[in-house]
Structure 1
Amino acid sequence: MMRPSTKPVYSPLHYDVVEFARQVVPTPAERAEKQRVIQCVAAATKRSFEDVSHIQVQPFGSFVNGLSTWNSDVDLVVTGLAKPSRITGGFSHNDKRLVYRALDRIAANLRKQKKLSIRKMTMIRTARIPLIKLETNSRVVADISLGDTSGPRAANYIAQQVGAYPSLGPLVLVLKVYLRSCGLNEVANGGISSFALTNMVLAHIMDELRDGHDVFDLGETLYSFLVRFGDDFDVHRDAVSVQLGGCVARSQLSHLGDSQGRLILEDPLTGAWPRLRDGTQHRHSACVQVSDRHCQNTHRNLP
């Protein structure tokens, strides 16, 4: 995506978004500390399974794709031990027993890592993907799970899109912080994941470019995003698919099953759409109300 050849006049909100995005990203020291924690987790994991040569600990999510805030969790996946089902996205009852034992072994070795200086460590066994939630005294929070390479692949894909669309990163950072402040950022509670939000913003940018609109004014583009998903977007009619070029008709996607009234977002790498929780429809309504309310406030900061 080419930047304007001449220096344009942007809305006041544009500069607010730029400055906000600059302030919420991790400092070099904070990023280095997170990287140190990743190395400690990798060392403890490999010590737990010295007989498994192909085991790897890979970061994914916002730490990899460049869309993390200073207080974002670090997502880590241990590959080479167990893979979740491609159909359900989780582990079977029998597989979970193996996963629990593996996570217990990792947790035991993490406690021996004096360099980590653990403040708190919790095993979350009831999640679809069981995980270790680790917090250090340096305030780094890491979520450690078992799985395959789909997470790292998705993070690398998003990183490529952030490079291709300069407006994507700042807008996602602003919206991530805003959703967190509204309690709408946790998927387990029916909120919108960082991956889903990023694809929604990317789809919006694609649609705006196709319609000939200027997406370099971050204020205007933030406003139009809130209008699109707070007012224009109809979950009964529309879906999000960057693979197909942005926001599309639901009829263009197949195998949706019983999904009426739910936000459908196609995975750009696999073509699959997420299985949404029962509470998602209610929480999506809350997201729409927040978008609509913030859209009205944002409009005041535009020329």
Structure 2
Amino acid sequence: MDPRIAWFQPEQLGPANSAWMNIWETTQGLGSLSNHNIHGSANGVPDAVTSSSETRMQGTINPKGDNEIEHKFDLLETNINQHPAGRGSSGPWVVGGTAFASWRERERECGLGNRRRRDNRASTFGFNRSLLSIGSNSAVDDAGCRGVGYTGTPWKTRNYSAGILGLHEEIQDFYAYMSPRPEEERMRREVVERIERVIKDLWPTADVQVFGSFSTGLYLPTSDIDLVVFGKFREGDSLPLWRLEEALRKHKVVEENSVKVLDKATVPIIKLTDSLTEVKVDISFNMKNAVKAAALIKDYKKKYPVLPYLVLVLKQFLLQRDMNEVFTGGISSYCLFLIAVSFLQLHSREDACSPNANTGVLLIEFFELYGRHFNYLKTGIRIKDGGCYLSKDEVQKSMLDGYRPSLLYIEDPLQQGNDVGRSSYGAMQVKQVFDYAYMVLSHAVSPIAKYYPNNHSESILGRIIRVTQEVAEYRDWITMKWADLSLNSLTLNGNDVTLLVEPQQTYECNNNLSEEGAESPSSSSPPPSSPSSSSSSSSPQSSSASSSDAVGAL
């Protein structure tokens, strides 16, 4: 079982499963042998890593075909995880008075500490080990964390109907739980304001605009903030990027090692992490289509009321599998949004677009279409003018210099000739996880599912989606530090309504706050995260993909 794609389902857990996992890890060189190498080596990658990796190669992977790429990726991750420099710090993080050392220690013991995990709070890589530990120890730990027994389905607070109707009800609850909270919006606006002040100091006449998921309201708790700076910059001049990078460091707005200047990309971009909140931010220059894309998304949200529910579930589904970034082979949020729109445009039933449509049915049918039936080799996607499918042979005739349509060809509705999916080199891996999700969900809502053990108490959506404990605690930290500050300007979710509070009322409210509740967000330690492995230099792979990220972020 690929740990990046799947985890054990509830009916598969038990003593036999635990014993089999121990046997499998021993034979694969990922169990006690790997842990011994990690703790017993001080410098470099241990020699035993090579031998254990060679053992994995013998007789298990066909040296030809697509499996070779998958095997090399697994081998690379194994070496990264086993290298001493690739492991996170063992020191505790203290966030809002809660120590995270015990949770980090459990990650290392369970084999969860890896590069992808540290870069992505939402990653469920290695989630199987957490599931196996739930049955043996479900108590809350001494640090006050949610405990080893945290199941990863915090949105499930009630029992649902049986079958497909229950999945629909659960998607509604998932959307309500994952939708941005007022305090999360307030925190992100503060991040934007800090960066905007630095930009205005450099270029007083510059115009800073927000686009992407923060603009459309379709962002997850750990999503990036996308900014575009409009000004009189010479085309092809990379000097503004470096000046802004230097200014951000000088004002200590960013984490020291988090800034990347991708000046060689088709669309130059700055990637950074805010020092106070650890929110990731992407900054581009003079990207007019970025703002137009946000407006396009808002229009389709109004046209298809079920679209936000599908998109938020699908974004979380790809995010936790590290398939939401173009530079890792995944598909961008903009790309995901376009294929979701195409799915609804060309759906056979007219009621699929109504507000009362069953989102459970639509989600399964989405996975079925793009996981099993869609012909990626011969077919492209167009959403303009009502939407249609395109023959790639016909598309190629209009392309210059012998170029061919990409495997995931999606025509950009805002820029003629632009293929949104051209940089998604791992489109077949995305297809694979869609197919897996279709298989799991279709079985979970079938009549035979009523015979599964604890069927009524288990989450159907939780079979393919989990919210990690790290994300849940990060949201708790945000709520604790920004909830009181949001009283002055409470924006209702999904509506442009602002609650105005008189200054005298604000003064009285602040006087009634406890000493802990009145603490400034910046006075506490930042939310839990591991040291960033990024550097200030950009890799060629990141540079080639950043243009799609800049325009294509939701």
Q: Same fold (TM over 0.5)?
A: yes
How far off is 1:230 after superposition? 0.9
TM-score by length of 1: 0.82
Whether 1:32 and 2:169 are equivalent positions in the alignment is no
**Contact kept in structure 2, 1:230 and 1:289, CA below 8 Å:** yes
Q: Which runs of 5+ in 2 are unaligned?
A: 1-162, 447-554
How far off is 1:279 after superposition? 6.5
The residue aligned with 1:91 is none
Equivalent-residue separation in structure 2 for 1:242 and 1:272 (angstroms): 14
Residue 403 of structure 2 aligns to a residue in which SS? coil
Whether 1:284 and 2:423 are equivalent positions in the alignment is no
5 Å-filtered alignment, 1:231-250, equals 231-250=372-391
Whether 1:263 and 2:408 are equivalent positions in the alignment is yes
The residue aligned with 2:207 is 56
Equivalent-residue separation in structure 1 for 2:221 and 2:197 (angstroms): 24
Residue 259 of structure 2 aligns to a residue in which SS? strand
Whether 1:14 and 2:189 are equivalent positions in the alignment is no
Amino-acid identity (%): 28
The residue aligned with 1:92 is none
How far off is 1:139 after superposition? 2.3
The residue aligned with 1:179 is 318
The residue aligned with 1:152 is 291
Q: Which runs of 5+ in 1 are unaligned?
A: 1-8, 85-94
How far off is 1:188 after superposition? 1.6
Whether 1:68 and 2:219 are equivalent positions in the alignment is yes
**Contact kept in structure 1, 2:307 and 2:340, CA below 8 Å:** yes
- Larger C-alpha radius of gyration, 1 or 2? 2
Equivalent-residue separation in structure 2 for 1:214 and 1:123 (angstroms): 42
| C-alpha distance 128-270 of structure 1, shift in aligned 2 (>3 A) | closer
Say which of 418, 421, 429 aligns to 1:273: 418
Alignment-mate amino acid for residue 414 of structure 2: L
Q: Give per-residue Cα distances to partners, 1:36-64, cap 9 Å, x unaligned.
A: 211221221121124xx3x2111111111
**Contact kept in structure 2, 1:82 and 1:148, CA below 8 Å:** no
Alignment-mate amino acid for residue 268 of structure 1: P
The residue aligned with 1:122 is 259
Equivalent-residue separation in structure 2 for 1:261 and 1:150 (angstroms): 21
| C-alpha distance 298-83 of structure 1, shift in aligned 2 (>3 A) | farther
Alignment-mate amino acid for residue 335 of structure 2: A
Equivalent-residue separation in structure 2 for 1:83 and 1:171 (angstroms): 40
Across the two proteins, how many residue pairs are aligned to each other? Answer: 275
| C-alpha distance 287-117 of structure 1, shift in aligned 2 (>3 A) | closer
The structure whose residues are more often strand, as a share, is: 1
| C-alpha distance 76-155 of structure 1, shift in aligned 2 (>3 A) | same
| Higher mean displacement: 263-272 or 188-197 | 263-272
Residue 143 of structure 1 aligns to a residue in which SS? strand
Equivalent-residue separation in structure 2 for 1:258 and 1:236 (angstroms): 15
Alignment-mate amino acid for residue 293 of structure 1: Y
**Contact kept in structure 2, 1:265 and 1:274, CA below 8 Å:** yes
Say which of 201, 214, 226 aligns to 2:352: 214
TM-score by length of 2: 0.46
